[in-house]
Amino acid sequence: MHVIFAFVGLFLLSFVADVSGAEQPNILFIFTDDHAAHAISCYDSKINKTPNLDRIGNEGIRFDNCFCTNGICGPSRAVILTGKYSHKNGFLRNGNRFDGNQLTFPKMLQMVGYETAVIGKWHLGEHQEPTGFSYSEVLVGQGPYYNPTMLRDDHGNGDRKKINYTGYTTDIITDLALDWLKEGRKSDKPFMLMYQHKAPHREWCPGPKYLTMYDDVEIPEPVNLFDDYEGRGTAAHTQDMTIEKTMTDRDLKLVPPPFLNEEQLKVWNAAYEPKNEAFRKANLQGKDLVRWKYQRYIKDYLRCVAAVDDNIGRVLDYLDEAGLAENTIVVYSSDQGFYLGDHGWFDKRFMYEESYRQPLMVRWPGKIQPGTVSKALVSNVDFAETFIDVAGLDQPRAMQGASLTPLFDGEIPEDWRKSHYYHYYEFEANSRTPHMVRRHRGVRTDRYKLIDFYNLGEYELYDLEKDPHEMQSVYDQPEYEEVQKLLKYELDRLAEELEVPDDRGSVPKNPVYKNNPPAQKPNAGKKKAS
């Protein structure tokens, strides 16, 4: 034990001492990239069915109000590993490097005897070796949808091999996860496996079995597919993430993806070429064209989700067959949500509901009653705390979330959080950053949301009960005066409690619009809203 203490420092003494001899459950953390809750049928999706994901939600607990702290891929992963907000773990935006020396929940689980592995998407720096894992096999960077190269470390010692696979990445990641569960791990130890998909990330490339799925159906459109952003401020007007304007021919599969081999390309073209030919002939314009793009986008997105769902079914079946299901906590989540045509958008980043919300479902036989639903405000900053809690460890003071185990019975304890803090950083004033979403911070309660676009000097305020789609900011409307005051106070209080630096990560005060000047001076948002 003294070797471990020398490594992690004395402050761990208190919680390591707390571990009893009780049986530690296995933890299977199933994670996807950009999977919105409103594309999961047990979250009442109007557009698809996910029978295997539903097994997790229906046989355990479904959290309806799980929100990310910073809605973008790498940062969300860093929050999950560390239990700390971005300004504390140092990974504020994609392109940052994750400091693998900091304390993470996999390292803590290792200290109390867990065998830990990460298989699939890592996305915390291409050359960044995952730390805290006895086994890792991860995609290089984003990784392609087909024929991925993966970096494998058999012993968690930094000796990595590059391996090229042929096939569909979602299937391959699942095969590798199953191999590790069956033969790779030491069966006398409890395990924690992070089984992490690339899908359904852009550019939404379906697997060979799914290329024509949904061909004969029309997917319902979101109510605000043709949003004109009239009720919101500069940020909504100047983003670059609309289905109408931002999507490329590659996104829309008007050209095939670059990573297919000859045989795969033949199958791909056989599926897409007739559809593309019909599209070219139709010569669509205006709203008809947007509608077509939406259908193409959402069908490809849902095809990717269908492959994830089928593969998760394989893993759940294996847990049953191997007798592991009873003592394994299965958790499903995604790094953040996604706009599925909502507001006319794809992508994420904004604090609006569709991308701010994360799916979160937990199945733990014997400990969580099937069919439990929680409306508590929870977050990806709580995941690490939950995992170490179920393994019998106390929470280090540096972690900023809270274990979710007191919520597992569906009740909300009196002292549970009443508000949640969000902060998105990825915007460079002087160059073109992807999707051009302005920096913002914000606070959400069960009913209201205040968003502070601090570089613009603009606020937005939403009454989610009256305006669930966030179409009209009510900031500065007289009837919300008291709510507005309280939320501003709460936002500052949370920033102080979480120790957000005053400079908010060196934010330029007067950003220069070089490439993307505001199209118009929006008349809503900060000052008056009619």
The residues binding Ca ion (CB under 5 A) are 33-34, 73, 335
Q: How many CB atoms lie within 10 A of CB 415?
A: 8
Report the nearest approach of Ca ion to the CB of residue 73 (Å).
Answer: 4
Cα gap 384→387, rounded to integer Å: 5
3-state SS, residue 320: helix
- In whole angstroms, the minimum distance from the beta carbon of 145 to Ca ion comes to 15
Structure token digits, residue 395: 């929470």
When the beta carbons of 200 and 396 are compared against Ca ion, the nearer one is: 200
Nearer to Ca ion, 73 or 308 (CB): 73
CB of 9 to Ca ion, least distance (A): 32
- Of 153 and 335, the one with the shorter C-beta distance to Ca ion is 335
Closest CB 349 distance from Ca ion, rounded Å: 10
C-alpha torsion 406→407→408→411, nearest 10: 110
CA distance 66 to 55: 19
Q: How many CA atoms lie within 13 A of 362 on its CB side?
A: 28
One DSSP character per residue, 451-470 reads: EEETTTTEEEEEETTT-TT-
Instruction: Tell me how far, at minimum, the Cβ of 249 lies from Ca ion, in Å.
Output: 22
- Smallest distance, Å, CB 132 to Ca ion? 21
Dihedrals φ, ψ of 442, to 5°? -170, 170
The one-letter code for the residue type at 370 is: P
Shortest distance in whole angstroms from residue 201 CB to Ca ion: 6
- Closer of 114 and 145 to Ca ion (Cβ): 145
CB-nearer residue toward Ca ion: 73 or 213: 73
Amino acid at 254: L
- Residue with Cβ nearer Ca ion (73 or 474): 73
The nearest distance, CB 33 to Ca ion, in angstroms, is 4
**Would you say how long the chain is, in residues?**
530
Of 34 and 426, which has the nearer Cβ to Ca ion? 34
- 3-state per-residue secondary structure call for 226-240: CCCCCCCCHHHHHCC
**How would you label 35-44 residue by residue, b for 16+ Cβ within 10 Å and e otherwise?**
bbbbbbbbbe
User: Is the Cβ of residue 242 or residue 358 nearer to Ca ion in the bound state?
Assistant: 358
Least spacing, CB of residue 134 vs Ca ion, in Å: 26
In the bound state with Ca ion, the residue whose beta carbon lies nearer, of 234 and 336, is 336
Measure Cα distances from 432 to 96, 239, 248, 391 in Å: 17, 11, 17, 44
- Closest contact distance (angstroms) between CB of 164 and Ca ion is 25
**Structure token pair of residue 269:** 């073209």
Give the distance from CA 492 to its chain's centroid. 25
Any residues with CB less than 8 A from the CB of 286 and at least 6 apart, and which? none
Residue whose C-beta lies closest to Ca ion: 73
Q: Which residues of 313-324 are buried (b: 16+ CB within 10 A; e: fewer)?
A: bebbebbeeeeb
Residue 347 or 463 with smaller CB distance to Ca ion: 347
Residue of 232, 231, 229, 234 lying closest to 518 (CA atoms)? 234
Contact at 8 Å (CB) between 218 and 341?
A: no
